[in-house]
Amino acid sequence: MSRRLDGVVRRCYASAVAQGALLFTESTVHKRNELGVEFEVRYVPALAAKPSTKPSEKQSAKDFVNPFQPYDERLHVATLGGASHNLLLNKYCVVPHHLLITTATFQRQGERLGEADFAAALDTVDGLAREQIVFYNSGEESGASQPHKHMQVLPMPEDMDEPPSTLLWLRSSSPPGQVHTADILPFAHFGVRLASGRLSPSGLTAAYTAALGELARIHGPDASYNMVMTRSAIMLFPRRQSSWHGISINSLGFAGLLLCKTREEQALLDSVGILHALTHVGFPRLDRTTPCSC
Per-residue pLDDT of 105-162, as tens digits, reads: 999 999 999 999 999 999 999 999 999 999 999 999 999 988 999 999 999 999 999 9
pLDDT at 1: 46
Q: Determine the Cα–Cα distance for residues 261 and 210; give it in Å rounded to an integer.
A: 35
Whether 63 shows a pLDDT value over 50: the answer reads yes
Give the CA diameter of the chain. Answer: 51
Q: What does the DSSP 8-state code read for residue 37?
A: E
**CB within 8 Å of 118: residues ≥ 6 apart:** 201, 204, 205, 208
Is there a contact between 107 and 37 (Cβ–Cβ < 8 Å)? no
**CB within 8 Å of 200: residues ≥ 6 apart:** 122
pLDDT at 147: 92
What is the mean predicted confidence (pLDDT) over 33-39? 97
DSSP helix/strand/coil, 289: strand
pTM above 0.85, yes or no: yes
Give the Cβ contact number of residue 37 at 10 Å.
Answer: 19
- Measured in Å, how far apart are the chain's first and last C-alpha atoms? 24
Burial 127-156 (b: 16+ CB within 10 A, else e): bbeebbbbbbbbbbbbbbbbbbbbbbbbbb
What is the mean predicted confidence (pLDDT) over 179-195? 95
DSSP helix/strand/coil, 157: coil
Percentage of the chain exceeding pLDDT 90? 83
Greater confidence (172 vs 150) lies with 150
Q: Does domain 5-291 have CATH number 1.10.10.60?
A: no
Give the Cβ contact number of residue 239 at 10 Å.
Answer: 28
pLDDT at 49: 72
- Angle of helix 201-219 relative to helix 115-126, nearest 10 degrees, comes to 130
Whether 189 shows a pLDDT value over 50: the answer reads yes
What is the mean predicted confidence (pLDDT) over 56-60? 60
Length in residues, the chain: 294
Q: What is the mean pLDDT of the chain?
A: 92
Whether 97 shows a pLDDT value over 60: the answer reads yes
From the number of C-beta atoms within 10 Å of its C-beta (0-12, 13-18, 19+), residue 226 rates as buried
Least Cα distance to 15 among 59, 73, 54, 69 occurs for: 73
What is the mean predicted confidence (pLDDT) over 20-33? 95
Least Cα distance to 224 among 238, 235, 214 occurs for: 238
DSSP helix/strand/coil, 279: helix
pLDDT at 74: 98
* Banded model confidence at residue 58, pLDDT cuts 50, 70, 90: low
Percentage of the chain exceeding pLDDT 70? 91
Q: Which of 150, 180, 189, 219 is catalytic?
A: 150
3-state helix, strand, coil in the chain (%, to 5): 30, 30, 40
Q: What does the DSSP 8-state code read for residue 218?
A: H
C-alpha distance from residue 280 to each of 113, 169, 180, 254 (Å): 26, 19, 21, 12
pLDDT at 290: 53
Which residues in the chain belong to E strands, given as ranges?
Answer: 23-24, 28-34, 37-43, 76-80, 85-89, 92-93, 99-103, 132-138, 150-155, 178-180, 190-193, 224-229, 233-239, 243-244, 247-248, 257-260, 289-291
* Banded model confidence at residue 39, pLDDT cuts 50, 70, 90: very high
Whether 249 shows a pLDDT value over 70: the answer reads yes
Q: Residue 76 catalytic?
A: no
